[in-house]
């Protein structure tokens, strides 16, 4: 057998899962398993207890409430992509999901699992950062909300306590008719991105940029919102020259360097993708405001 | 709820239409359960960490990597493996027949995963473009064919399945 020996728990409620987390030593939560199962098979992870969340029905589902979409942590990536509300109001998410793994992994993988694994190159992590998501976390003291900006404590490390678990992600819906674009560069389809970029861009009635958000994924240890780029965009005349100037802010990021990809290459890709994404998002916003 | 958890559990899984009940160690993957416990060795294991796609099976109709699922998680579910695609009389599934016609396989190791993946894909997308087929099989690695013959087989099978649908 490939995975190391562990004791298996499959609670039916969030309360039971949180209770187990608090009482058991060296316990891991199993969501869709598309990252933890390989880690178990390869024996990178040695939990004494595995708490399987797949039986907790309250953790899955998508609802709209007061201009926000609440997506349960155990909602499968495939079900998010198929959901009419997401398709109608959060097309950025749909575009990003097309890059998440493969159909077999999207059928099983969950949004909560992806966020908690917190791979900096994960598309859903970049999208959550770009949309100013709020993460709903359950613990022994009840439920708390944490801004996505505060969620990454460091490389692949979410800022949640050992006895807490993510139960949902809340995504503020951008204005109707907004522009969006998700782009990524990977060696093969479905691979983790070398660099990805997410852009949301909304125009005011005069065609100036009313709201924009730009996020780089895969470029650094955590998803990078680009406040300098956003400030340049908020202040200028939307068009190719402005987008080029905003994209140039990618030259200053502290990029990841690994055996395959040097940091300078990530910075160049980031700048190029950001410029392309801004152009495309702006064109969609213009189209959206005309509609 | 007990804090000890369990290391073994009795599960009931319907595989290719037949119900199986078995006492199963909790750390057994679904892939190993199919191959070792049920002796259904048509499901192949390549990488065992979710990269190669060879072990893809259908769980309640959805394509999933059986190396990334525990057998206990299949309790109460319906699993379809490569052994369940052909008709009971041996008549090949239209996808299998198309793979034969187009030389969609050579060594055959990746084929069970490709076929199960494509069964789900063609169900969701009955009239795909070539690009859509390539995206659908992006999670299945084949080192023999260069993929062109697999894509041709999938497009041909899609046509056959549509024709069968209209005829019925």
Instruction: Give per-residue pLDDT as tens, B119-128.
Output: 999 999 999 9
Q: Which of B21, B53, B84 is the last residue of a domain?
A: B84
Could you give the CA distance from residue A73 to residue A124 in angstroms, rounded to a whole number? 12
Task: Check B121 against A8: CB less than 8 A apart.
Answer: no
Per-residue pLDDT tens over the stretch A36-54:
999 999 999 999 999 999 9
Do the domain assignments include residue B67?
yes
Q: Is B83 exposed, middle or buried (0-12, 13-18, 19+ CB in 10 A)?
A: middle
pLDDT for B4: 85
Could you give the CA distance from residue B71 to residue A1 in angstroms, rounded to a whole number? 12
Q: Do B110 and B163 belong to one domain?
A: yes
ipTM given for this complex: 0.95
Mean pLDDT of chain A: 96
Nearest CA in chain B to A23: B3
Residue with tokens 């993510």: A166
**DSSP symbols for A66-99:** TTEEEEETT-BHHHHHH-HHHHHH-HHHHHHHTT
Which of chain B's residues have a Cβ under 8 Å away from the Cβ of A7?
A: 4-7, 26
Task: Check A52 against B70: CB less than 8 A apart.
Answer: yes
Can you give the CATH number for the domain in which B49 is found? 3.10.20.30
| Structural domain total, chain B | 2
Nearest CA in chain B to A55: B73
Q: Do B32 and B72 belong to one domain?
A: yes
Nearest CA in chain B to A79: B62
Q: Decide if A23 touches B, using CB distance below 8 A.
A: yes
| CA triple A52-B51-A217, angle to 5 deg | 80
Q: Decide if A52 touches B, using CB distance below 8 A.
A: yes
Q: Decide if A78 touches B, using CB distance below 8 A.
A: yes
Q: Does residue B1 have a pLDDT over 60?
A: no
Q: Quickly state the pLDDT bin for B2 (edges 50, 70, 90).
A: low
Phi, psi of A86 (to 5 degrees): -65, -40
Question: What are the structural domains of chain A?
Answer: 7-52 (3.30.43.10), 57-172 (3.30.465.10), 180-290 (3.30.390.50)
Q: Decide if A104 touches B, using CB distance below 8 A.
A: yes
- Choose the closest CB to B63 out of A38, A40, A103: A103
Q: Which of B46, B62, B84 is the last residue of a domain?
A: B84
Average the pLDDT over A75-80 and give the result.
Answer: 98
Q: Does residue A1 have a pLDDT over 80?
A: no
Q: Do B70 and B31 belong to one domain?
A: yes
Cβ atoms within 10 Å, residue A22 = 14
How much is the pTM?
Answer: 0.96
Q: Do B103 and B47 belong to one domain?
A: no
Which of 134-163 (B) contact A at CB < 8 A?
134-136, 138-140
Q: Does residue A130 have a pLDDT over 60?
A: yes
Nearest CA in chain B to A36: B68
Which residues are within 8 A (CB) of A17 and not within 5 positions of it... i.e. 6 or more apart? A11, A29, A51, A53, A56, A165
Task: Check A11 against B1: CB less than 8 A apart.
Answer: yes
Per-residue pLDDT tens over the stretch A189-237:
888 899 999 999 999 999 999 999 999 999 999 999 999 999 999 999 9
Could you give the CA distance from residue B91 to residue B97 in angstroms, rounded to a whole number? 9
Residues comprising chain A, all counted: 291
- Choose the closest CB to B5 out of A9, A105, A108: A9
Q: Do B78 and B112 belong to one domain?
A: no
Can you give the CATH number for the domain in which B134 is found? 1.10.150.120
Do the domain assignments include residue B28?
yes
Do the domain assignments include residue B2?
no
| CB–CB contacts below 8 A, A to B | 113
Q: Do B13 and B62 belong to one domain?
A: yes
Do the domain assignments include residue B3?
no
Q: Decide if A33 touches B, using CB distance below 8 A.
A: yes
Q: Does residue B138 have a pLDDT over 60?
A: yes
Average the pLDDT over A118-122 and give the result.
Answer: 95
Task: Check A33 against B68: CB less than 8 A apart.
Answer: yes
Where on the phi/psi map is residue B30: left (φ > 0), alpha (ψ -120 to 50), or beta? alpha
Could you give the CA distance from residue A51 to residue A13 in angstroms, rounded to a whole number? 12
Task: Check A103 against B50: CB less than 8 A apart.
Answer: no
pLDDT for A125: 97
Do the domain assignments include residue B29?
yes
Q: Do B80 and B14 belong to one domain?
A: yes
Average the pLDDT over B12-37 and give the result.
Answer: 98
Q: Decide if B125 touches A, using CB distance below 8 A.
A: no
Do the domain assignments include residue B158?
yes
Q: Do B127 and B108 belong to one domain?
A: yes
Boundaries of domain holding B133:
94-167
Do the domain assignments include residue B115?
yes
Do the domain assignments include residue B89?
no
Q: Does residue A29 have a pLDDT over 70?
A: yes
Q: Do B65 and B111 belong to one domain?
A: no
Q: Decide if A26 touches B, using CB distance below 8 A.
A: no
Which of chain A's residues have a Cβ under 8 Å away from the Cβ of B68?
A: 33-34, 37-38, 41, 105, 108
């Amino acid at each position: 057998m490939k995975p190391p020996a562990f004791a298996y728990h499959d609670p039916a409620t969030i309360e039971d899962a949180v209770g187990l987390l608090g009482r058991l030593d060296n316990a891991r939560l199993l969501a869709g398993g598309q990252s933890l199962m390989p880690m178990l098979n390869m024996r990178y992870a040695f939990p004494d207890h595995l708490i399987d969340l797949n039986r907790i029905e309250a953790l899955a589902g998508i609802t709209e409430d007061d201009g926000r979409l609440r997506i349960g942590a155990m909602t499968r990536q495939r079900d998010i992509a198929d959901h009419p509300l997401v398709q109608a109001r959060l097309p950025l998410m749909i575009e990003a999901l097309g890059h998440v793994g493969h159909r077999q992994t999207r059928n099983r993988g969950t949004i909560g699992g992806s966020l908690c694994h917190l791979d900096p190159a994960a598309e859903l992590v970049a999208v959550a950062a770009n949309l100013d998501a709020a993460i709903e976390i359950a613990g022994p003291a009840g439920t708390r909300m944490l801004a996505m900006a505060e969620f990454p404590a460091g490389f692949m490390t979410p800022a949640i306590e050992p006895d807490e678990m993510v139960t949902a992600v809340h995504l503020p819906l951008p204005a109707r008719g907004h522009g969006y674009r998700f782009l990524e560069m990977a060696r093969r389809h479905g691979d983790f991105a070398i660099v990805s970029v997410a852009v949301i861009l909304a125009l005011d009635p005069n065609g100036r940029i009313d709201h924009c958000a730009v996020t780089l994924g895969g470029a650094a240890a955590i998803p990078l919102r680009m406040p300098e780029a956003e400030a340049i965009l908020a202040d200028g005349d939307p068009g190719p020259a402005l987008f080029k100037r905003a994209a140039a802010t990618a030259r200053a990021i502290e990029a990841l360097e690994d055996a395959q990809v040097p940091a300078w290459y990530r910075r160049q890709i980031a700048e190029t993708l950001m410029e392309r994404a801004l152009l495309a998002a702006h064109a969609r916003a213009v189209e959206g405001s005309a509609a | 709820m007990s804090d000890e958890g369990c290391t073994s559990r009795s599960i009931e899984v319907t595989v290719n239409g037949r119900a199986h009940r078995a006492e199963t160690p909790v750390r057994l993957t679904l892939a190993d359960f199919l191959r070792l416990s049920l002796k259904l060795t048509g499901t192949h294991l390549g990488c065992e960490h979710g990269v190669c796609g060879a072990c893809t099976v259908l769980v309640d109709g959805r394509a999933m990597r059986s190396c990334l699922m525990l057998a206990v998680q299949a309790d109460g579910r319906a699993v379809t493996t490569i052994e369940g695609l052909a008709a009971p009389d041996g008549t090949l599934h239209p996808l299998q027949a198309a793979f034969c016609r187009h030389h969609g396989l050579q060594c055959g190791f990746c084929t069970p995963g490709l076929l199960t993946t494509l069964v789900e894909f063609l169900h969701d997308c009955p009239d795909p473009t070539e690009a859509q087929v390539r995206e659908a099989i992006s999670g299945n690695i084949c080192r023999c064919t260069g993929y062109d013959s697999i894509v041709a087989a999938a497009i041909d099978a899609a046509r056959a399945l549509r024709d069968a649908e209209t005829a019925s």
